[in-house]
């Protein structure tokens, strides 16, 4: 079985921006992870079908982590600039610049892993989930909560079908 990581990122204190945290929590329960679920940004949880990681944002250091995996699923919120409310796209290693010093894309993480460690996941996807409100709250809006459940289901399907 291919070694798989699911890496969620966003700010759980900014309502729908934290949707990935909720997805990671849901997947942890589905995969039988019973310890270390509450507020453990940066903790790598060992799941039965995949490992789970949540970060506030992507950083260059994550490249070392993902270099040890065959498959990677990145989970994040989007603001509606993407047409689909739940968008799942394949990724490839590609260095991308950003006008924001604190912003790194999954493609750049893959590129750093490839360049520094000569290895990156061969199969990588981005699951982006529409956020509707980015106020100061740990609760998701009803719309995003529904999309988070759907996203978790789609991710589980992807995990269980390693040839895709």
User: For 145-163, what is each residue's pLDDT tens digit?
Assistant: 999 999 999 999 999 885 6
The residue ranges of the chain whose pLDDT is under 70 are 34-43, 96-102, 162-164
Which pLDDT value is given to residue 133? 95
Q: Which domains, and CATH codes, for the chain?
A: 4-131+146-160 (3.40.50.1450)
Let me know: does 58 contact 106? Beta carbons within 8 Å: yes
Residue 131, token pair as written in the block: 């956020």
CA distances from 1 to 49, 69, 80, 129, 154 (A): 9, 11, 35, 27, 19
Which pLDDT value is given to residue 80? 85
Measured CA angle at 50 (ends 104, 143), to 5 deg: 65
Let me know: does 126 contact 20? Beta carbons within 8 Å: no
Q: What is the pTM of this model?
A: 0.91
């Amino acid at each position: 079985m291919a070694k798989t990581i699911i890496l969620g990122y966003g700010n759980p204190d900014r309502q729908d921006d934290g949707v990935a945290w909720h997805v990671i929590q849901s997947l942890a329960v589905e995969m039988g992870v019973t310890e270390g679920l509450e507020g453990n940004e940066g903790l790598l949880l060992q799941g039965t079908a995949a490992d789970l990681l949540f970060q506030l944002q992507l950083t260059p250091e994550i490249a070392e982590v993902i270099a040890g995996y065959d498959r990677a699923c990145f989970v994040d919120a989007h603001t509606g600039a993407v047409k689909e409310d739940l968008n799942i796209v394949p990724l490839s290693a590609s260095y991308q610049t950003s006008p924001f010093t604190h912003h790194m894309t999954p493609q750049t993480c893959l590129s750093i892993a490839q360049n520094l460690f000569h290895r990156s996941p061969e199969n990588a996807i981005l699951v982006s989930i529409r956020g509707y409100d980015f106020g100061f709250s740990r609760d998701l809006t009803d719309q995003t909560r529904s999309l988070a459940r759907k996203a978790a289901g789609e991710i589980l399907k992807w995990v269980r079908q390693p040839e895709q």
